[in-house]
Amino acid sequence: MPGPQPISVPLSEKQRTLLEQLSRRQTSPHRLVRRVKTILAASAGASNEAIARRLSLCRDTVRLWRQRWQDGAEALHAAEAAGDADKVLLARMEALLDAAPRPGSPGDFSAEQLTQLVSVACESPEDSGRPVTHWSPRELAHEVIKRGIVPHISPRTVGRFLKGGGSQATSLDLLAQSSA
């Protein structure tokens, strides 16, 4: 017994031409090319199963991209009817075929806070009144909290940011030698 009919994917001639250009563009990421090929095959009437087999995808992935294209098709047709330039239409298509934002909590630290943390790590600990010659993640964590750069941060997190994670961060002397 056949399953439900897949969502149809009607494309205008201009959309088809732009998608074919996008699939042949050497700078297009592989994931984008696969999504474009999925849409082109779907518009040609291929089944989800056939597209999945041909592109080594699962049927749910093909179904997802058919649905995403249909959800954005009205806006694409409106932009095309409004006479948007090919470059603008191409950018809209790429945005439509781009991955959706992933769920999850935002980061705890801003880029500015991380920059300030690295800046403190480049200073000499003696300049901050610390009785050590090299920053350790624990000492650095205490210092950035004391300065009010961040309200809280663990030594482990400091180590991850500095790509060390060990008991001692890179010395100031080494930083000075590498930049000379």
Nearest alpha carbon to residue 93 among 69, 109, 71, 117: 69
* Residue ranges in the chain whose pLDDT is less than 50: 165-180
Of 67, 96, 125, the last residue of a domain is 96
Predicted pLDDT at 172: 47
Q: In this predicted structure, what is the pLDDT of residue 156?
A: 93
Return the pLDDT at 154: 94
Do both 89 and 133 map to the same domain?
A: no
Residue 140: what pLDDT? 94
In this prediction, residue 164 carries a pLDDT of: 52
Contacts of 164 (CB under 8 A, 6+ apart): 137, 170
pLDDT at 11 (0 to 100): 92
What is the extent of the structural domain holding 42? 13-96
Residues 47 and 17 in one domain: yes
Residue type, 88: V
Number of domains composing the chain: 2
Total number of residues shown for the chain: 180
